[in-house]
Amino acid sequence: MKNKYKYFFKRLLYYLYGEKFFKRLNYDWSKQPSRTEIIQNIINLKKYSKYLEVGCDKNENFSKIMIEYKVGVDPLKGGTVRKTSDEFFKSNNEKFDLIFLDGLHTYEQTLKDIDNAIQIIEDEGIILVHDCLPKKIWNQIVPRIYGHWNGDVWKAIVHSRTYDYVDTYTCTADHGIGVIFKRKNKDLLRLDNLDFKNYKFADYYTFHEKYMNPISYNKLFEIL
């Protein structure tokens, strides 16, 4: 209840002083497979054996993933390693087939996690990033001022779309799942403005296809 009032007050301030763009994207996540189904189906299809999850919380996803070997990193709860992602990547020397990034949902941290994950993903592996498709402006404001919080993870996906050494998409399921393959970018995003942190929700909405490279669940399984 306390949080509700705190968020309401912060939203009021944002409404007065922040970006004013209130159009919404109408994704319906209830009609799409969950992150757990997607991860498990990729593991089964590709016969992967090594899974890393960054940000595990209550192990809602982590505990359900069936695979030979799995590591879960979280500084607070869940998983198998009690560290921040930065601490983990600094000391880790293992490689993984599938890495699911779902830790701190800010552009800066997600980009660091993506860059670090690229270093330790197997050549035929896949990096997935949760919460890439906020439906409305409130979902993506940092710090959090609304119930469902995607954070500005979407900006890290736009940034990753400008890398020529990885191929980045966003699967339109479960709040948006970034999909990063370790191969040459098939549709390199060229942008003049590289100040991704200051990109606006209006840009994300207007240039949605170009920035996020969205693909359906079925399409994802065609390109795997």
Ligand X SMILES: C[S@@+](CC[C@H](N)C(=O)[O-])C[C@H]1O[C@@H](n2cnc3c(N)ncnc32)[C@H](O)[C@@H]1O
Q: What spatial distance separates the first Cα and last Cα of the chain, rounded to whole Å?
A: 44
If one asks whether residue 54 binds ligand X (CB under 6 A), the answer comes out as yes
Instruction: Return the number of the residue (73 or 117) whose C-beta is nearest ligand X.
Output: 73
**Considering only CA atoms, which of 201, 175, 204 is closest in space to residue 191?**
204
Least Cβ distance, residue 21 to ligand X (angstroms):
25
Q: Name the phi and psi angles at 52, rounded to 5.
A: -125, 130
**Strand 167-171 to strand 177-181: parallel, antiparallel, or no bridges (unpaired)?**
antiparallel
**Strand 96-101 to strand 50-54: parallel, antiparallel, or no bridges (unpaired)?**
parallel
Least Cβ distance, residue 1 to ligand X (angstroms):
22
Cα 184 to chain centroid, rounded: 20
* Residue of 32, 84, 92, 168 interacting with ligand X (CB under 6 A): 84
The site map against ligand X for 135-174 (x = CB under 6 A) is: ----------------------------------------
* Residue of 60, 68, 124, 187 interacting with ligand X (CB under 6 A): 60
Q: Which residues bind ligand X (CB under 6 A)?
A: 35, 53-57, 60-61, 73-78, 84-85, 102-104, 109
